[in-house]
Every structure is written in structure tokens, then in C-alpha cells.
Structure 1
Amino acid sequence: MPGTLIIITAPSGAGKTTLVRGLLERDPQMHLSVSYTTRAPRPGEQDGREYHFVDVETFRTLRDRGEFLEWAEVHGNYYATSRVWLKEQIATGRDILLEIDWQGAQQVRRSFSDAVGVFVLPPSVDALESRLRGRGTDSEDVIARRLLGARGEMRHVAEFDYVILNDDLQNAIDDLVAVVRASRLRYGRQRLRHQQYFDFLEQD
């Protein structure tokens, strides 16, 4: 049975990475897709774990060869998802969590129409600015650019199936876990998982 693809999107600073970490700790069946990016690693990040970190030339070469399912430029950096890897993982029954921006989500859903979209919102714009400054990793120019783009990103929230307001971390993690569990209980998934049962119910 094919696996489930969960797409999670949020403006930078909304707490998406922390939520994803909480989900992965509580749900061993969920696996994180590792995207490609041209941005520099942040302190503590490792190549092949958080991202595949590549330079712009390498990224463009992979893109032009058709290696990516989706790609986008966000805040001056490129991000992309491996087409072959993702399709192989879903086909073998693994549940995959994909962290991408709203542009990438649109592209992915053209190939995976049954993917579940989750948008994470910060409690407020002020809270978002506070979180970005609290990181201590971005310059003032970068913070200003991220705040300017955040409102535009959040306007795409209606394109997603579920919305999580991250005003309390543990509640938000609970909500994300609930979304994943619910996605596995959709009729189409249960019909495939318990085929003989449903075949019996549909007999004349």
C-alpha cells in the first residue's frame, strides 16, 4: 500500500521545525523528506540530515536534469525536493513529511493529489518578529525581508487542508499528530489497508 504524504508549510519563524521534531519523536512511522538548498547551514545542522546543502551551480545542474519534483527561490536561496526519492518512498509504503513553502506545495500537489496540506501560523506578526530575532542567526536585513514576505506567504493558508495556530507548542504538536493520524483513517486509505473487509461489505 502506498504511503501518505504530509506537506507542512509556514512562514519562517512560525515554529515549523520544532513542530516537525515533536511529531517525529511521537510518530516513528513518519519520515522526514530531506530537501536540497543553497542556503548556508545554521549552527548544529548537518548535511544530509536537515538538508542537502549544495552550491548554486550544483543546484541548477540538478534542476536542469529534471531531478526535482519542485523547486523555488525563497529569501534569495533555492530549495527543492528530489522527484525520484519521494516517489520511491511513497510507493514502498513509507509515510513522508515534506517541509516546503507554499509555492512548492502547489507544485507537489500536481503530482500527489492526495497529499495532506498543513499550514502553521504564528500567534501574531509581533510574535513572529520576536521569534526571528530570538534565533540570533539572521541579520537585520534578513529579518526585515522575512517579515515582509511572511504576510504574503500566510495569504495562501486557504490552499491547505489543515491550519495549526502555534501559540502553545505542546498543543500545536498534539494538533499535528492528530492531523497525521486522521490522514491515515481516510476512506481511501482504509479501503486499501483492509481490502477484504470492504470487498465483503460491497458484496450483493
Structure 2
Amino acid sequence: MMSKPVSEIYWGTFQHPLLLHPLHLAVTNQGLCRITWPHETIDVLKKWVNRRIPNAFLIQNHNQLSKYVQQLQEYFDGDRKKFTLPLDLRGTAFQTSVWQALTQIPYGQAWSYSDIAERIDNPKAVRAVGTANGANPIPIVIPCHRVIGKNATLTGFRGGLDMKEKLLQLEGYYDYTKKGHARFQF
């Protein structure tokens, strides 16, 4: 009986003064596959890897993550507007189409969930777009924070509305109202 192949997943952390806690990053041989939010622990990363990449072996290795950490550092320092990292997206076809659309939102701008649904040629899938946006495994690099309600309010965000606002302000985007609620307003 043959055993299943084991995938090596390299992980490490990224810390910046704008963040209260570190981000945990995971990288496969294909590219970046997961970034946690500051309020999420290493256990969140481990559970995600176990669910999405069965038989994976997590190896802490900061050298394997150096180019990813460097680009995040440049972004948080205000010196990078676009990421040029290889990604290893783990999701459904619909989710990956939404995540690809998110990468098209320019730095310092925001689109609505409806805008994303139109962009993927599925204008009636607004709520599904919101769900896929919330399941984004690579936040910041795939800029789910650049999606706001159609009425320009901040809306539900897995990273927390304070983090969403912090990232939008880092990019110089202030054209929103803080009246948003933690629940989705598409």
C-alpha cells in the first residue's frame, strides 16, 4: 500500500508597528497560501492547513518566507502598492474567481460587492461574493479590505472593522462612512 505524499508547508510570522499582533504566513512550493489576521493564532493557521492541505507538514522557516515578509513590510511602510508574489489559492472555482477579481482593485480605491459580482459576470451573486470575500485566505495581498458597501459604509470584515479602516487609511482611502455594521451590507 502506497502512503499519501506529504506536502511541506513553510510558515513564519510578520510583525509591524501598525499591527497589535503578528500575522502568521504559510507558503507552499507554489506560493503564498495563507495569512492570518492579527487576532488569529497559530492554531488557526494549523487548522486551515489540516483542512485545506491534508497530510501537510508545517515547517517554521523564515528564510522560505523572506520575499513574502519583505513585500508585506514594504506595503505596511507605504512603499509598495502592488504585490508581485506567487499565490497558491485553495478554494472553489467561484471563490478563486472572486479572489482574482479582488486583486484587480487598485491601491487606494474601493469597490462594492456588487462591483465584484459584475466583474465576475455574475451580477446576482452579490451575497455569495461577500461570503467568498470573507473566506479569502490571503488577506492584504488579496485586498479584501478594499471592498465596502454599495452605500460607501464599512461592512462585515473577518479582520475586524478597525483593521479594515486602518488598511484603507494606510492606502490613503477615506471615502467611506464609519456607520457600517459588522454584518454585511452589500
Q: TM-score range by the shorter chain?
A: under 0.3
- Asked which structure has the greater RCO (Cα within 8 Å, sep 6+), the reply is 1
Larger Rg: 1
Comparing both structures, which one devotes a greater share of its residues to helix?
Answer: 1
TM-score, normalisation: structure 2: 0.26
Comparing both structures, which one devotes a greater share of its residues to strand?
Answer: 1
